[in-house]
Every structure is written in C-alpha cells, then in structure tokens.
Chains A and B, each alone.
Chain A
Amino acid sequence: MLGFILRRLGTFIPTFIGVSIVSFLFIRLLPGDPILLMAGERGMSDDRYAQLMTQFGFDKPLLTQYWDYLNGLIRGDLGLSFKTKRPVWDEFFALFPATLELSLCAIAFAIGLGIPAGIVAAVNRGKWPDQALMSTALVGYSMPIFWWALLLIIFFSGTLGWTPVSGRISLMFFFPTDTGFMLIDSFRSGQAGALASAVEHLILPTIVLGTIPLAVIARQTRSAMLEVLSEDYVRTAKAKGLSPLRVNGVHALRNAMIPVITVIGLSVGTLMAGAILTETIFSWPGIGKWMVEGIGSRDYTAVQGGLLMIAVIVMVVNLVVDLLYGLINPKIRQR
C-alpha cells in the first residue's frame, strides 16, 4: 500500500514539471505586456520601463526565467503577484476555501442526484424513467454553463425572486471568517439568518457547477449498473429474497462503484474548469474569479501559480480515488 502511494507520488514529478512548463508558457503566449498594463493610461518613461523589466526579470531569456521559477517552486515559493505584491501562495489559500466549498457542494449535488438517477434508469432500462432521465442527462451535459447560469438567474432570481444573484452572503452580515467556509463561519457566528443567507447564495452556483458532473455520473452509473445487474451474484442476492432496494442499492451498486468513482475523480478537473466560469458569473470570490482577473491583468505569477496548484489538487484527488478502489472491491486490494 505504502509502496503503491510512493510509486504514484513518483509519477507526479514528470506531470508536475510538464504542468509547470505549460502554465508558464500559456500566460506568456497571450498577447499583452504586463508592465504596460500596470502603467495604464498614463504610460511610462522608457527608463522606468527598462527598470521594471529588470526588476521582474523579463529581460532575461525565457529559459532562465523558467529556471528561476522552477527553483522557487522546489522551495515552495510561487513568487509574488505582480498586481498585489503579495505571495501567490497566500492569495491562493485565502481564496481557495470559497472554491472548495462551492466545488464540494456541487459534487455532493452531482453524486446525490446522479447515482440514484443512474440506478433508477438501469433498473428500468428501456422504459420511460430510463428514457426521461437519460435524455435529461444528455441535455444537462450539452448545456453551455454560461447559458444555463443565465437561464437559472433569470428564472429563480428574476421571475421568482427566490435566490440572490452574486456573492457568498448578504452584505447585512459581518462575522470573522476563520475557516473560510461560509456555511461553517455563518453557523458559528450565531447571527440569525446568516446560515440561511449563505445557503441561498450557494444554491444557484452549486446547480450550475454540478450539472455537468451530475449528467456524467448519472450516465456512468447507469452503464456500470447495467453491466453488473446481469452478474450471477445479483441473481444470488435475488434468490435470497432480498428487496429490490437491497439487491440494486447494495449488491449491484457496490460492484458498479469503481467506474463511477473514476468519473467522480475525473470530474474534479471538469469542476475546476467550470468553477472559473461559474465564479465569474456569480461574482464568487474564489480561485476561478481570481485567475480570470489575473489573466486580464497578465499577472504572470498569479496565473501560473494558480494553474499549477489546481493541477496538483487534481492529481492528489485522483490518487485518493485510486486508493478508494481497494476499499470498495477487496479483490483489487490484492494486486
């Protein structure tokens, strides 16, 4: 087990280097000069420009710049943000809880609805619940996030006036944000209505971000269940006189979970991409919105650092998923 983890961590190194190169190049390949952008309308003298170029190291060859960046990374230093002059590391972790909270809610929403939907569809294969659920999943999967978010906002916030449109909590509330998780902080503040406000603000972003993973999980659960339902051990479970809920929800589902867990792990990547759009639409103060702003101001260090951190998170999640396989199916643990 330990050996397995170490081997997997070993494969992280080339991936990590690859991602660092791609993120480093990506932001530099965008047209636009960060120093000119920083100066804004006023412009600046050539001397001052040259001085700033040297200060940020942009006068050095690209390879040297990358080498310096990599040296920093090894020491756990992501550099300073151009814009705020604060360590990228600190900025990232100040905003990360907001993204994590939204992502966890979205994935919980996707799993909570997707797995039961997939089971119901598989058990009723070819009948109307299957067709209804799977066509809905297809629509959900193909819906552009932007468009879907706007539809929801127009209907629930506009027409019905049920949910707020932006932010994490109503401006009426002030309390210390110790954990960074609004649901926890608002609850701990003890202020009447604070938790309710936090929940209200979470609903639409959660739905928007969770829709694609929901569709993917539902479809994967259905196909995995279909495969498992014709297995001999499912017949054995029925032969015991167990209820359909137990046969499908325990005996079949447990065996169908491996591919489902895999797509859940993979959808973490999708979720991070989706978070960028979702946070921008709902003014959610998280990593996604921060990165979009960073790209806008060509904040090289912030963007490359943020991309790298997201990649590491996705890699770690997938390692955890691999470890889960063994817990679900003991046969895999042996190998």
Chain B
Amino acid sequence: MPLLDVRNLCVEFKTADGLFKAVDGVDVQVDVGDVLAIVGESGSGKSVSMLAVMGLLPWTANVTADAIVFDGVDFTTAGAKQRRSIIGRDVSMIFQEPMTSLNPCFTVGFQIGEALKTHLALSRSERRKRSIELLEQVGLPEPERRLRAFPHQLSGGMSQRVMIAMAIACKPKLLIADEPTTALDVTIQAQILELLLELQNDTGMALVLITHDMGVVAETAQRVSVQYAGQKVEEQCVQDLFVDAHHPYTHALLAALPERATTRTLPSIPGVVPGQFDRPQGCLFSPRCAFADAQCQSAQPLVQSESLGFARCHYPLLDGKPLQASEVRK
C-alpha cells in the first residue's frame, strides 16, 4: 500500500467569473521512501494539488477526491483535528517563497520550537536542544545564534534551510517540496536540492518534489508525474521517461532541454497553458500539440495503460512517433 494515495483529486476555485477547475482528476501515489517529481509549466496545478492534500487551500477552493489516504488515514473523511495531528508531523511541506513563508514577528527558534511543542510536547530545554540539532542538520552555521534571529535577518537560502528544519522537525514520513529552489540564486539552488536529497537519503522519508526543471528531475527523482492544465498527462519511472516519453507534452518538454537541443536557438513549446477562459473542448494540449488532429480537438482523451505511461492522449508516442488509433486500443 502506498504511503500517499490520492485518487481523482479535483479542485475548483470560486472566482468572480464563476468556477475554475485548477486540478482535474489527478492521481498521486507515493511509496515509503520514494522520490516523486511532479513537473509541468507554471499554472498546471502542481502547487494547488499538493496544497489540497495538505488542506492548505483558501476558502474559495472546493476540493473533491475519491480518496486522499495518507499512511492509512483518509483525509476526505478524517476530522479536522485528526488531520491537524498528522499535518506538520508525518507529512510536511515547504514552499516556493522562503522569504515570505516565515513569520516576520517571531524568532527562528520560536517557529521551529512550535512544531516540536505541538506534536511532540517537548519541554523548553528539549525543544532548544532539538532545534539546534535541526539547524545543524540543515547546514546553518552558529545555530545557537540563529535561534534568536528574526526572518528579516536571513537570506533566501538561509530562510529555506530554516523552513526545511521546521518541516523535518518531527521526522516526517513524507516531505512535499513545492519548487523549493525557484526563488533562490542559482548557486544556492543546487545546495538546497542537495540538502533535500541528503536528508531524504539519511532519514528514508519519501519526497515529493515539485519543479518545472527537467534537469533537476533527471538528477533526483525515481518516478515522474507530468501535469498539464490541471491534469496528470503522464507518469513513468525516471529512466523510462527520459528514454521514451509517451505524451507529446512530455516529449516537447524534453526536447526543450538545452542539452537536447538540435538547433542553435533553444527550442520551446509554442503557446501557453490554457487558463480559465481559453480551455479547449477536446484534449487540453491539442492547441499546442504537433500531432493533434480533429479527434484531439473535439474529444477528451482517455488515460492509456501503464505500459504507455498512463498518457492522457489519443495517439500516445512510441519512440517519438504517434501510434494510430487501431494500435492503441487496449
């Protein structure tokens, strides 16, 4: 049984212009100790789907799912209190903007200690000892002094390290990292990523890494889930995905990698992710897809078999060439 098992997750936002479906029937499975990367352009619902799992979406969001089971507890039926006892202890999350994710009014020590107090009921001195330990673990020098620091005295990289320390304080079974390096300097990005993988390796926790960087995926993940416009369009283990992507979107993402470029200019996928008002009727990727035909424009594709990477496509690719309708029927 997977550690996290999300089935048919949908999130709708109430906006001034009606409902907007930001996440549409996403499945996520993460095994104990697994590293899953979720990739996709911005706006494809990566953050929203994970925030929905954590129960952190604002009141304008309406979350539905067949199941959100974490470690045997189904969040769709569990009470708020039971859910709170798990969130922050067994599953925790770090965010894209470390500088604004820490509370400016409280010291680092207070904010780390809070998780320890709430979930583990540690005494003041135990909390201090553990906080120092955690700051050392995430590679912050002079941990005693850092405990007294306020967030505005920290750089972005340091803030993200503090966020990580907070997230792993109660030794979670799963850490969700939502583009943890996007807001940081390039030199710091690699350090933070390395730290996360090191912690994952040392503690054996599972890791969900949201990113839009295929390069990062190749170096870190075991499995990759590709999201597009709120839907999961493909999922494969990382080696297979890089060798043979089955969805044209994944294919295009990989072709856009600088090291795979065949022309002098960097290739890119023309167009943008459809938003609330420009949703195509058929396949959501069809307006940008090199292989789309009339069928793609009129009918929503079904999910293909596991051997085709669960690709949500009428004509999934095999070795870079679309299969014809007669060949794909399961």
Contacts and interface: CB of A to CB of B under 8 A. Distances in A.
A241 B119 contact: yes
Contacts of B58: 230
A246 B100 CA distance: 19
Interface residues of A, number: 23
A239 interface: yes
A329 B92 contact: no
B89 A231 contact: no
B291 interface: no
B84 interface: yes
Interface string B108-149: 000000110011000000000000000000000000000000
A241 B102 contact: no
A331 interface: yes
Contact of A243 (B84, B92, B152): B84
B56 A254 contact: no
Contacts of A238: 55-56, 87
Contacts of A125: 59
A242 interface: yes
Contacts of B86: 241
Contacts of A254: 103, 105-106
A238 B103 CA distance: 12
A106 B233 CA distance: 62
Interface string A100-125: 00000000000000000000000001
B163 A329 contact: no
A330 B105 contact: yes
Interface in A216-235: 230-233, 235
Given A232-B95, A233-B101, A240 B152 contact: no
A240 B118 CA distance: 8
Given A232-B97, A331-B152, A240 B105 contact: no
A19 interface: no
Contacts of A246: 118
Interface in A300-335: 328-331, 334
Nearest to A241: B88
B100 A334 contact: no
Nearest to B119: A241
B127 to A, nearest CB: 14
Contacts of B55: 238
A239 B92 contact: yes
Given A236-B102, A238-B56, A330-B150, 20 more contacts: A233-B103, A236-B166, A237-B103, A238-B55, A238-B87, A239-B93, A240-B115, A241-B84, A241-B85, A241-B89, A241-B119, A242-B84, A246-B118, A251-B103, A254-B103, A254-B105, A254-B106, A255-B104, A330-B104, A331-B152
21 contacts: A125-B59, A231-B100, A232-B95, A232-B97, A233-B100, A233-B101, A233-B104, A235-B95, A236-B95, A236-B166, A237-B103, A239-B88, A240-B87, A240-B88, A240-B114, A241-B87, A241-B119, A329-B105, A330-B150, A331-B152, A334-B152
Interface of A: 125, 230-233, 235-243, 246, 251, 254-255, 328-331, 334
